[in-house]
Structure 1
Amino acid sequence: MNIIKQYPAHQTTDGDGVNITRLADFSRGHFDPFLMIDELKSDDEADYIGGFPPHPHRGIETFSYILKGGMEHRDQLGNVKAIQAGDVQWMSTGSGVIHSEMPLADTDTGLHGFQIWLNMPASEKMRPARYQDTTTTPIPEYKNTTGAQLRALAGNWQFAGQSLAGPIEELAGSAAIADISIEANGSAELALKQSFVGIYLYSGELIAQGKRYSAQQLLLLDSSKAVNLVTSNTGAGMLLLTGTPIKEEIVHMGPFVMNSQAEIRQAIDDYQSGRFGNIPKTNLET
């Protein structure tokens, strides 16, 4: 496995004071088609109880994956879903979405999850929004003979002689996302064809090129080489991200990612004028 570069995540807050670990690149395209990876991990509800009250998006896709605990999603399209441990959720926001993501009231085991932003090509940024989740759909997974298990969250994967098709199939940039967990001193090998290949390591250690790589960082890989994953005696958990760079101009302001300042100004005006709509009040009743 040839690691080209590594990017450490940093601590920040978002939403209503939620503590998160973040990796973001809205200017140089190092992660293209990916824009941002947020990891929320805490056993202290004070770190996340404020959640993410209603807010807009335009021009991006959000991909959420929960390992522990849960969040309740609500949007102006009428979707109200409890996204819980093991679930995936995808929003292709297109021309506009308003949504909220709030910790579930009965969550007492802490919270660990991710939200990944992907850029949308200019030709699709103003199409109608799309929504999909896996609350009623099992995610395919397979464990090899050397202590590694792959969960196909999105896109198609070849792993240990098996073909796994993730339930989310239309990510921007032909992106694919998998969750790979490897036992202590275990290993996995994958041959990948996409131009961008990255690993976000969220637990344990990986050993590569004579070095140990620890959690909360993104490793960019040489996509022309086979990916050989080897763990130390801690084991490891990671998100494997692949895709095809979009290679378009990015202009970013808060929840909006467009291709020009004029489009950003239009997004702000549309939101402030109420053209994004509102989360239906009937959906907010408990």
Structure 2
Amino acid sequence: MSLRPTLETRKAVPTMEGAGVKLHRAFGFQDPSELDPFLLFDDFRNEHPQDYQAGFPWHPHRGIETITYVLSGTVDHSDSLGNSGQLGAGDVQWMTAGSGILHQEMPKGNTSGQMHGFQLWGNLPSAQKMTAPRYQDVQGKDIPEVIDDDGTTVRVIVGKFWGKTGPVDGIAADPQYLDVSIPAGVKKTFKIDTYRRAFAYVFDGQAAFADASQPTGVLLEKEVAGQELNIRDMSGNRTLVRFGTGDEITVQAGPEGVRFLLISGAPINEPVAWHGPIVMNTRAELEQAFRELRNGTFIKPAH
């Protein structure tokens, strides 16, 4: 077994999207090869309705898949295919934009006004960029959850893990998308396919992710005297951890435990031509997409 090195640890950056939604972006609109097949990851978390209620009005997508995971509040959505619905706390929507779709997403807070969710963009290989759009809406109750003897809890949203298979399937990048909670002070190792790109996103508590060159024992020590945890190099709220190659990661939870997303996928290794919500392989394809948006031929008839 080989431990994946930690290539980079960085905080998500505040930004604004849609009609004025305040959110934090962990990555996106930079080097698309960095986390290929993933292009962008946003954490939209607010306690003030004025920071999110304007939402994400009608906008196009082509050539990608968007994965929306709601933790609190709701998101109303509708699209050019006539679909509409609402995502609630714990629900997931996987949208394959394919040849093109127009949709809108309007977040609403819970009874306390809180809204929290994530959106991940996955690239599509050239052979699938012009496929028919489709949705997979999954209710939270249908997402399998596994609990280990030490109290570690994992929601398996996509992929296979600890004998469970997530309900979302048929995704180009064949990803694994896990929501992991580890109790205070517990050290845990997770296996990841060697050929996948992988990252973690910490959104509650703290943890130390072991580096191949630095054993976990030096990251977190327990004092004999007050049984207090001395924390070094801990990753906390809104932190992206990007891993190198290997087949496992080891994480040590901090004194209040930790919750993070662990996401991996098979790289596509194709050229990327990207502007806003449209991602193609060549500049010519990108220009064609925007030309079709202007002349009304962007949405393709169903076959």
Residue 249 of structure 2: aligned partner: 227
Q: Which one is further off, 213-222 or 76-85?
A: 213-222
1:138, 1:52 → 2: CA distance?
27
Asked if the contact 2:36–2:267 (Cα under 8 Å) also holds between the matched residues in 1, the reply is yes
1:114 is matched with which residue: 115, 118, 127?
118
Q: Is the 8 A contact 2:199 2:242 kept in 1?
A: yes
Please report how far the alpha carbon of residue 107 of structure 1 lies from its aligned counterpart in structure 2 after TM superposition: 5.3
Q: Which residue of 2 aligns with 1:206?
A: 207
Contact (CA 8 Å) 2:71, 2:90: kept in 1 or not? Answer: yes
Cα deviation for residue 25 of structure 1 reads 4.8
Are the counterparts in 2 of residues 98 and 276 from structure 1 also a CA contact under 8 Å? no
Distance 1:173 1:138 in 2: 22
Q: Which amino acid aligns with 2:209?
A: A
Using the TM superposition, name which of 171-180 and 90-99 deviates more.
171-180
Q: What's the CA shift for 1:111?
A: 0.4
Aligned residue number for residue 184 of structure 1: 184
Q: CA contact under 8 A between 2:38 and 2:121: conserved in structure 1? A: yes
Contact map agreement 2:49 2:113 (CA 8 A) in 1: no
Matching residue of 2:84: 80
Secondary structure of the corresponding residue to residue 287 of structure 2: helix
Q: Deviations over 1:11-46 (max 9, x none)?
A: 100001000100215435111110000000111111
Cα displacement (A) at 1:218? 1.6
- Taking the TM superposition and a 5 Å limit, the aligned residue runs for 1:26-45 are 26-45=30-49
Q: Note the alpha carbon deviations across 1:266-285, whole angstroms, 9 max, x for none.
A: 1111112222349xxxxxxx
Equivalent position SS for 2:150: coil
Counterpart CA distance in 2 for 1:171 and 1:107 is 34
Q: Taking structure 1 as reference, are residues 26 and 173 closer, same or farther at Cα in structure 2, changes over 3 Å only? A: farther
Which of these two proteins has the greater Rg computed from alpha carbons?
2
User: Measured at CA, do residues 27 and 227 of structure 1 come closer, stay the same or move farther in structure 2, by a change above 3 Å?
Assistant: closer
When the two structures are aligned, how many residues end up with a matched partner? 274
Identity of paired residues, percent?
A: 34
Deviation at 1:173, TM superposition (A): 1.6
Measured after TM superposition, the shift of residue 234 of structure 1 is: 2.1
State the match for 1:6 in structure 2.
9
Q: Is the 8 A contact 2:53 2:107 kept in 1?
A: yes
Gaps of 5+ in 1: 279-286
Deviations 1:135-174 (A, max 9, x none): 386100011122211001111123xxxx111111222221
Q: Is the 8 A contact 2:178 2:262 kept in 1?
A: yes
Contact kept, 8 Å, 1:182 with 1:235, in 2: the verdict is yes
Q: Does the CA-based 8 Å contact 2:32-2:39 persist in structure 1?
A: no
Structure-1 separation of matches of 2:73 and 2:294: 33
Question: In 2, distance between residues paired with 1:26 and 1:60?
Answer: 16
Q: Following the alignment from structure 2 to structure 1, what is the Cα–Cα distance between the partners of residues 140 and 185? A: 34
1:189 Cα deviation from its structure 2 partner: 2.3
Deviation of 1:195 after TM superposition, in Å, equals: 2.2
Which one-letter code corresponds to 1:140 in the other structure?
P
The 1-side partners of 2:248 and 2:60 are apart by 39
Structure 2 Cα separation of the partners of residues 242 and 105 of structure 1: 29
The CA RMSD measured in Å over matched residues stands at 1.9
The superposition leaves residues 54-103 of structure 1 with CA deviations (integer Å, 9 ceiling, x where unpaired) of 10000010000000101001011221111010000001101101000012
